[in-house]
Amino acid sequence: MLGAALVLAACAKTGTVNSNVSHKEYLEAWLSLSWPGVAQNDGGIYVLEDEPGTGATVGTTGFVVVDYTSTELDGTVVNTTYPLVAKRTGDWKASDYYGPMVQSVEGTSLPAGIAALLDGMQVGGRRKALLPSWMMTTSRYATQAEYLAQTTDETSRIYDVTLVAYETDIDKYQFDQISARMKELYNAPDSTSYGLYYHQLKAPDKTGDFPADTTVYITYIGRRLDGTVFDTNIENIAKDAGLYSGGKEYGPAAITWASSASELTMTAAGSSSSSTMISGFQKILWGMGAHEKGVGMFYSQLGYGTSGSGTSIPAYAPLSFEIELVDKQE
């Protein structure tokens, strides 16, 4: 590593070498000490370990489902989908999602280095590769020289990736997950509308729609399909899930009824302003009656879509909400 340090020092003195060239020189020095003999493949990355799978091969369209850990060159963990790794590094949080991640492989949705890593992988396979800093971008260049001519703020990373699944129909993949979960919990896999499944836990007092501008009150528990609670307005549930906040008021939320599901709004306990809800939540409520309790599950297009929400809900994540219409809290 002393050699690498001297290389960087020399680059710093000249002041004429851009960041990608200096990263390349550092990387070559690091490789000569840590992985001697490893060369770049045709995709521009350094494959350190490769265990072939037996399933479908990743193509140029569709979606990959992966588990992975990424590290700096010194071994510092940057990101991981494994809870045990997060616990060992002290980064684990009860509310965070750990598990396989879904990612589109089409176009430039992935950094060039990640796309090169996945190229040719088969489901069930594992690949560990070093991705040079100039390939940690979604930009595409014809040659390495073009990459090196750029100036980026990225650093080289090592990715250890296991390909869990390769899907061409991401909606069907989610529907299969939801159907299996509903059947496991309630033996009720039937959907009520496209992408939405509902199971009644308690029948309503009476049927029929609420008049527009009626105010009804609800309690709810939001879960990922793995059962982890990510949101609730029930205090003891929040405490049990490790989500409790002393600065939040818990209790039934007020729902202002409207002429369509998409117009429903919610005012949280202790709040003076209303807000809209994700469409899956609205659609569940729209079909419920007075004092009814039920569980709805829906695919990501009715939730947080292709981007997810924070660290608790990943992209393309189906969600589950248990909702009960209750009396106003006095």
**Using an 8 Å Cβ cutoff, are 320 and 300 in contact?**
no
Burial zone of 90 (CB within 10 Å; 0-12 exposed, 13-18 middle, 19+ buried): exposed
Among 5-9, 40-44, 111-115, name the one with the lowest average pLDDT: 5-9
Handedness of CA 231, 199, 306, 92 (dihedral sign): positive
11 falls in which pLDDT band (50, 70, 90)? very low
Number of neighbouring beta carbons within 10 Å of residue 318: 23
Are the C-beta atoms of residues 150 and 20 closer than 8 Å to each other?
Answer: yes
- Residue range 170-326, CATH number: 3.10.50.40
Q: How much is the average pLDDT of 222-248?
A: 94
Distance (Å, whole) CA 8 – CA 64: 37
Interval 221-247 mean pLDDT: 94
Please give the average per-residue pLDDT across 16-23, as a whole number.
Answer: 70
Tell me what percent of the residues of the chain surpass a pLDDT of 70.
93
Give the model's confidence band at 9: pLDDT under 50 very low, under 70 low, under 90 confident, else very high: very low
Domain ranges of the chain: 38-167, 170-326
Which of the four pLDDT bands, split at 50, 70 and 90, describes residue 2? Answer: very low
The answer on pLDDT for 13 being more than 70 is: no
Backbone angles phi, psi at 33, to 5 degrees: -95, -40
Q: Beta strand 126-131 with 46-51: parallel, antiparallel or unpaired?
A: antiparallel
Residue 52, strand partner residues = none
pLDDT digits (tens, 9 = 90+) for 121-162: 999 999 999 999 888 888 777 777 777 777 666 789 999 999
Is 38-167's fold the same as 170-326's? yes
Residue 152 is predicted with a pLDDT of 66
Query: Per-residue pLDDT for 176 more than 90?
Result: yes
Q: pTM of this prediction? A: 0.85
The identity of residue 8, as a single letter, is L
For 38-167, CATH gives: 3.10.50.40
